[in-house]
Chain A
């Protein structure tokens, strides 16, 4: 019977091509626009480090002066160098890393490549195992390298290829800000999105290509990127004791119990620092895991959300439009429906027949919507947004798009089909 309905639907849709195209386009544009924006939102709010995001915690403390203190307020956004170095040395978590964003000029050995600037990250050794950074050659530097302020670097694959033309460069040297640095490892392409571990340099589109020990970077006075906030003036804001926040501190804690313990530890640390006179406020500690941290920072841009709501509103209008047109179309077919009813079609079979017709519009509209979403994402990739490059359709969203189209058209079809099958056989037989 479905075959018969499909055949009838095809005929009916071909009878009024303009109307059919209008309905299909309405569904397609509605679905296309919605799926474009939903996909963008989906990639923007994705878990940047699945499987581990609930074991990595961002540490916040509050070493500020007591005046201006309000109970329950957020602690300092970042850490001071003093706290960060102390806590990394204390090794009270399974892993701990301190870091800051940076930038450096690279002079290539390749002939004809001018010096160029790269975004970099100055971090301690745990960075790589903690964030599961994949390597194509070599590996991370060690804690001993940190202590020794060793002239070592880890390169991201694109940088290695640009400077050396190969990734097989472990042991070779590279000129960073006029310093000879030894390459210990080359990471595979790894640009977690959002750039959760440091949101100061941007949540999206950050491509750090060079890693060096934090200690080395300070010794060699490498440039620093990100935000720095000082609450007292200091001759050198980057110095160890400076009253400035500019370091991100992350710890790895694999269980809820360890989290609780570490929280206690930080509280005790704050209290001890206060007794020692360095801290002035009551202990004010936050320990947020990756997703909590992203949520707290509201990394997904409001514009992306706004665009999603607009496109959903657009879809709703397209949906109502299609409901109206289908209703019109089905009501225009009342005489035919009346005859079919008289000849033995039950309400159910009329309902099914009409719903099949609506579904057909949905499927065609869905396929077209998928193409439009794909086109829309292509357009997003050419937008001047930092997350442009991320706008790709994955399998999950592909299926969701199709599902949305079919659900949309069935929704659009239910009311008209229901009204259509209410046509009484007796009434329509005599008059046209």
Chain B
């Protein structure tokens, strides 16, 4: 379902070349719950951006649901992102000018569903996160935890196969954080792959697998370093 093979990412500016990821390989099967950990600046966010098709990779192969993303143009990448991936962000990233209904509606619009289909999906997604009664409210009228639940509803309304979460509990207190984690685990239980980037060891502990990234090199903690090819020393020029 999710395969990365020797993926690398190099940022270039006039002065320096930064290797954000080096030959990262990772395979995630359906139904898995993976936590990606690592210190600040280790490459976690780059990994997430590449996994979410938000950034292009410099080298290696990334296949999502059997599709090699390297060959895709912007339209196809957008479509794939829209259909296969759900995002949950640390800062929620709800659109403040839209009410809950319209916020959840955004990805469905780009999906091209009809009106009835969208309504059904929006209502059921909000139902699942327990906010069905507040469709007309605006994000600013909600607490942080509620906002994050809306973001999750938005992420799952399109039935993605892969849910990417970037420190989803980072801006929440522990009670709310627990609720959000519970939701993610429920989703995972119904078959969605969840990849969560966090530096919270408690959350990492709840995942089935832990991948640790340091200086752009990933180590799979559960299955041991054997799966990861340690080619860190060779900095690729291309």
Contact = CB atoms under 8 A, between A and B. Distances in A.
A136 interface: no
Interface string A406-432: 000000000000000000111001101
A346 B75 CA distance: 5
Count chain B CB atoms within 10 A of each CB in A342, A346, A347 and give the residue with the most: A342
B89 A429 contact: yes
A344 B93 contact: no
A260 B217 CA distance: 90
Given A15-B97, A343-B82, A349 B110 contact: yes
Interface string B78-119: 110111000101110111011000000011011110000000
A429 B88 CA distance: 10
A47 interface: no
Count chain A CB atoms within 10 A of each CB in B55, B98, B110 and give the residue with the most: B110
Contact of B93 (A1, A345, A347, A429): A429
B81 A342 contact: yes
A336 B81 contact: no
A341 B78 contact: yes
A424 B83 CA distance: 19
Nearest to A336: B95
Contacts of A15: 97
A340 B106 contact: yes
A430 B87 contact: no
A426 B110 contact: no
Given A339-B95, A342-B87, A426 B49 contact: yes
Contact of B74 (A336, A339, A347): A347
Contacts of B74: 346-348
A89 interface: no
A1 B107 contact: no
A162 interface: no
Given A429-B54, A430-B45, A430-B91, A346 B97 contact: no
Contacts of B107: 343-344
A10 to B, nearest CB: 11
Interface string B180-214: 00000000000000000000000000000000000
Interface string B158-188: 1000000010000000000000000000000
Given A339-B93, A424-B54, A426-B49, A344 B81 contact: yes
B91 A432 contact: yes
B79 A346 contact: yes
Contact residue range for chain B? 20 to 34
A344 B90 contact: no
A425 B54 contact: yes
Interface in B35-71: 45, 49, 52, 54-55
A344 B89 contact: no
A425 to B, nearest CB: 4
B152 to A, nearest CB: 13
A339 B77 CA distance: 15
B54 A342 contact: yes
B154 interface: yes
The 9 residue pairs across chains A and B that have the minimum distance between CB atoms: A344-B82, A346-B78, A426-B54, A343-B107, A426-B49, A344-B110, A425-B54, A346-B75, A426-B55
Given A344-B83, A344-B110, 20 more contacts: A11-B98, A335-B93, A336-B95, A342-B52, A343-B107, A343-B154, A345-B78, A346-B74, A346-B75, A346-B79, A346-B110, A347-B74, A347-B78, A349-B78, A349-B110, A424-B54, A424-B55, A426-B55, A429-B87, A432-B91
Interface of A: 1, 4, 11-12, 15, 335-336, 338-349, 424-426, 429-430, 432
